[in-house]
């Protein structure tokens, strides 16, 4: 005979059932909150993707994740939303208006107060004694070198995704090596010297901007890349006058006379010039209705070697016309100058060149006008010209091999002749202020007019550049520097041409970085200056 449960037993059974039901509901709720979208708007934690350290080639830190916290608030529990908004704004720097609007929005149970707050800010927030605050652990990217390498290293967004520079270009490598290191080609010593000298020259000559590059001519490693004005990647906001633009990789412009290097290289390739040949210069060179003039006074005639050394537009135009437009375009294409340069940097630029490549275009392109390329593209092509004539590609990853030269682009004899000629420009031409005793510097000056917003050139405005190769007899590195609209000084007798502004800057950089890079200070005698056969 079955016994009827007592009242006490019934209560136990009912309590057990209710407990089981309660635990079941809690379990279902936990699954729902963590795996499914919340029905009441409870904030789901966002996963911050960890990133590897970025280092320079010697292991020096360039970028690292630091632990930080994001602050959220539940305004429903605030007893005074306006007072809470005011206090949190003062503690974190957030907008009081934004916070109050968020607190008064009944649809939003959680409001983001501030992201990536520091321990000091967290302490200020806790001192407010407000209920309903939640801290979510995350990561913030920190850049020890600050402005020095800002454009080339780049930055991440608040979710730790790369948005520019190598942070974006090397994103796959950085994520794959989370917790480890990714070694770049940058040398922080070279980077610092480059930034210091470019900034000093910019200030000295009151230029609008300045930029520089140091590259290995044999494996394409970029040891330093600077653009000024720059920005502080740690603040995530721009101050007046700051710029995030990488002028070396992103800007394209007429480079002027440094581009004459390629006209002479083509002339040597085609055997259309002799360095001891005399060229008529005169007061102007007419091509149809156009007349080419010199930037400075020139003698009535110049030898082939002195056309480059003295930077004659008229002489270079004649040399370019000997090869002709079809051949010139083919040569520049083969050097990679008529397409965007490829590297790990996401920032790049498409060159501008004539659609109708006629006689006058051939002449002006020959001395660096009518064609616009990026400094990175130009430096890469110049490295090919001087490194024995073999193609290289710029890279921002530390390489295990010191020689990564590819296919032969120009003859080795042409490369040798160009090295001798660039050395002659420094010993006997416009590049004299770039000379560094013992380091056998070769190079070329360039002073190009600056176009204005209406397409016409700005009167008396120049963009000056200098490209240097050292040691010239056995090249290891290219240095390229540029200043946007420098002004002459008392020391330069009022002149702002590249020989007075960009060339000495390049010389100072070489003088400082050459010993650090192990370049021997024992240059052999210079061929052309001592009498070229």
Catalytic sites, residue numbers: 257
**531 burial via Cβ count (<10 Å: 0-12, 13-18, 19+):** exposed
C-alpha distances in angstroms, 332 versus 41, 307, 366? 60, 20, 10
- Is 294 a member of any domain? yes
Q: Which two tokens stand for residue 412?
A: 């080795």
List, in sequence order, every residue forming a beta bridge with 445; answer none if it has no partner. 466
- Is 428 a member of any domain? yes
- Is 20 a member of any domain? no
The answer on pLDDT for 39 being more than 50 is: no
Residues 223 and 272 in one domain: yes
What is the number of structural domains in the chain? Answer: 2
Q: What is the mean pLDDT of the chain?
A: 90
Residues 208 and 164 in one domain: no
C-alpha distances in angstroms, 34 versus 28, 30, 39, 118, 294? 10, 6, 12, 27, 74
Per-residue confidence band for 308, with pLDDT thresholds at 50, 70 and 90: very high
- Is 14 a member of any domain? no
Residues 217 and 339 in one domain: yes
The predicted model scores a pTM of 0.84
- Is 1 a member of any domain? no
The answer on pLDDT for 34 being more than 50 is: no
| Sequence-ordered list of residues with C-beta below 8 angstroms from that of 507, at least 6 positions apart, any chain | 433, 434, 435, 436, 441, 468
Residues 173 and 195 in one domain: no
- Which residue segment(s) compose the domain that 397 sits in? 191-530
What is the per-residue pLDDT for 41? 45
CA distance 245 to 165: 10
Residues 231 and 162 in one domain: no
Residues 498 and 519 in one domain: yes
* Domain endpoint, select from 183, 217, 242: 183
Asked if residue 233 lies in contact with residue 248, where contact means CB atoms within 8 angstroms, the answer is: no
Residues 483 and 354 in one domain: yes
Q: What is the CATH classification number for the domain harbouring 150?
A: 3.90.1310.10
- pLDDT over 90, % of the chain: 77
Residues 159 and 301 in one domain: no
Q: Which of 290, 316, 296 is nearest to 304 (CA)?
A: 316
- Is 45 a member of any domain? no
Asked if residue 444 lies in contact with residue 308, where contact means CB atoms within 8 angstroms, the answer is: yes
Residues 385 and 254 in one domain: yes
Residues 240 and 120 in one domain: no
| DSSP-assigned states of every residue in 327-389 | HHHHHHHHTTTTS---SS-S-----B--SS--HHHHHHHHTT-S-BB-HHHHHHHHHHHHTTS
CA distance 14 to 381: 85
* Domain endpoint, select from 142, 166, 183: 183
Q: What is the CATH classification number for the domain harbouring 273?
A: 3.40.710.10
- Which of 131-145, 185-199, 392-406 is least confident? 131-145
**3-class secondary structure for 191-240?**
HHHHHHHHHHHHHHCCCCEEEEEEEECCCCEEEEEEEECCCCCCCCCCCC
Q: Which two tokens stand for residue 475?
A: 């090249």
DSSP state of 390: B
The pairing of beta strand 301-303 with beta strand 290-292: unpaired
Residues 323 and 435 in one domain: yes
* Domain endpoint, select from 162, 183, 204: 183
Residues 383 and 502 in one domain: yes
Report whether the peptide linkage leading into residue 53 is cis, meaning its omega lies within 30 degrees of zero.
no
In this predicted model, what pLDDT tens digit does every residue of 110-145 receive, in sequence order? Answer: 999 998 888 889 999 999 999 999 998 877 899 999
- Is 46 a member of any domain? no
- Is 9 a member of any domain? no
The answer on pLDDT for 523 being more than 80 is: no
In this predicted model, what pLDDT tens digit does every residue of 86-114 receive, in sequence order? Answer: 999 999 999 999 999 999 986 778 999 99
């Amino acid at each position: 005979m079955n016994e009827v449960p007592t009242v006490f037993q019934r209560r136990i059974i009912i309590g057990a059932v209710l407990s089981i039901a309660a635990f079941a509901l809690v379990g279902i709720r936990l699954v729902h909150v963590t795996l499914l979208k919340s029905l009441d708007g409870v904030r789901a934690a966002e996963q911050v993707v960890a990133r590897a350290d970025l280092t320079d080639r010697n292991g020096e830190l360039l970028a690292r994740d630091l632990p930080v916290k994001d602050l959220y608030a539940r305004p429903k529990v605030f007893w005074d939303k306006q007072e809470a908004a005011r206090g949190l704004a003062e503690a974190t720097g957030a907008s009081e208006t934004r916070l109050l609007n968020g607190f008064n929005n009944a649809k939003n149970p959680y409001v983001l107060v501030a992201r990536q707050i520091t321990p000091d800010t967290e302490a200020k927030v806790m001192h407010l004694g407000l209920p309903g605050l939640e801290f979510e652990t995350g990561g913030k990217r920190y850049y020890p070198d600050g402005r020095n390498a800002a454009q080339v290293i780049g930055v991440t967004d608040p979710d730790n995704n790369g948005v520019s520079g190598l942070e974006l270009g090397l994103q796959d490598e950085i994520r794959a090596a989370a917790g480890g290191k990714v070694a770049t080609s940058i040398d922080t010593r070279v980077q610092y010297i480059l930034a210091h000298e470019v900034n000093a020259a910019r200030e000295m000559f009151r230029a609008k901007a300045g930029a520089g590059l140091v590259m290995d001519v044999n494996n394409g490693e970029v040891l330093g890349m600077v653009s000024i004005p720059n920005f502080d990647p740690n603040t995530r906001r721009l101050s007046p006058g700051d710029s995030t633009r990488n002028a070396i990789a992103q800007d394209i412009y007429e480079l002027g006379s440094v581009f004459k290097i390629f006209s002479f290289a083509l002339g040597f390739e085609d055997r259309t010039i002799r360095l001891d040949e005399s060229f008529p210069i005169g007061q102007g060179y007419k091509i149809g209705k156009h007349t080419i003039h010199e930037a400075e006074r020139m003698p009535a005639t110049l030898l082939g070697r002195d056309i480059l050394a003295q930077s004659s537009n008229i002489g270079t135009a004649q040399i370019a016309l000997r090869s002709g437009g079809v051949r010139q375009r083919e040569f520049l294409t083969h050097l990679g100058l008529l397409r965007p340069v490829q590297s790990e940097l996401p920032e790049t630029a498409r060159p501008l060149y004539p659609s109708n490549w006629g006689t006058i275009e051939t002449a002006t392109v020959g001395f660096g006008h009518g064609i616009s390329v990026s400094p990175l593209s130009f430096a890469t092509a110049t490295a090919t010209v001087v490194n024995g004539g073999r193609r290289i590609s710029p890279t921002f990853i530390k390489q295990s091999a010191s020689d990564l030269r590819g296919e032969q682009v120009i003859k080795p004899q042409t490369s040798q002749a160009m090295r001798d000629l660039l050395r002659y420009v420094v010993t006997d031409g416009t590049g004299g202020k770039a000379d560094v005793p013992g380091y056998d510097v070769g190079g070329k000056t360039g002073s190009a007019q600056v176009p204005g917003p209406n397409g016409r050139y700005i009167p008396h405005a120049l963009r000056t550049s200098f490209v240097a190769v050292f040691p010239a007899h056995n090249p290891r590195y290219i240095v390229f520097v540029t200043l946007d609209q420098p002004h002459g000084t008392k020391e330069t007798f009022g002149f702002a041409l590249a020989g007075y502004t960009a060339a000495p800057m390049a010389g100072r950089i070489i003088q400082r970085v050459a010993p650090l890079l192990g370049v021997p200070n024992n240059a052999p005698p210079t061929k052309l200056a001592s009498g070229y056969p």
